[in-house]
Amino acid sequence: MEKWLYVMTIKKGKSYNKVTKAVITRHVENLKQLDADGKIMLCGPFQGYPGVAGMVIFKTESYEEAEALCKLEPLVAEGYATYTLASLQVADKENNYLL
């Protein structure tokens, strides 16, 4: 059985330098809720990667569900950031690393 994860890369927009503590608080609350709902595997900020704020790896049923969650991310919804979303096929022991 194929397993997929969906990788959201959060890209800094032109107004990203205007992000406030309140915006970050909404962002973190969103991540907490997604985690509580079992929708994320991993998330975090990048360091030393110009123009990119961070990433979220979603464990959702579909690409479309992950994309809907990307659009609800406060940094994106409020215009501070944009995103890219990529499908990642999981390679692990269970599927012999796709061999």
- Domain assignment of residue 9, yes or no: yes
- Domain assignment of residue 97, yes or no: no
Count other Cβ atoms within 10 Å, centred on residue 71: 10
- Domain assignment of residue 99, yes or no: no
Using left for φ > 0, alpha for ψ between -120 and 50, and beta otherwise, residue 62 falls in beta
Domain coverage including residue 36: 4-92
Per the CB < 8 A criterion, the answer to whether 52 and 9 are in contact is: yes
pLDDT-derived band at 73 (thresholds 50, 70, 90) equals very high
The chain-wide mean pLDDT, for the chain, equals: 97
- Domain assignment of residue 98, yes or no: no
Tokens of 55: 């990433």
Q: What is the pLDDT of residues 35-58, one digit of tens each?
A: 999 999 999 999 999 999 999 999
Judged against a pLDDT cut of 80, whether residue 20 lies above it is answered with: yes
Element (H, E) at 89: strand 81-89
Judged against a pLDDT cut of 90, whether residue 97 lies above it is answered with: yes
- Domain assignment of residue 11, yes or no: yes
- Domain assignment of residue 12, yes or no: yes
What's the CATH number where 83 sits? 3.30.70.1060
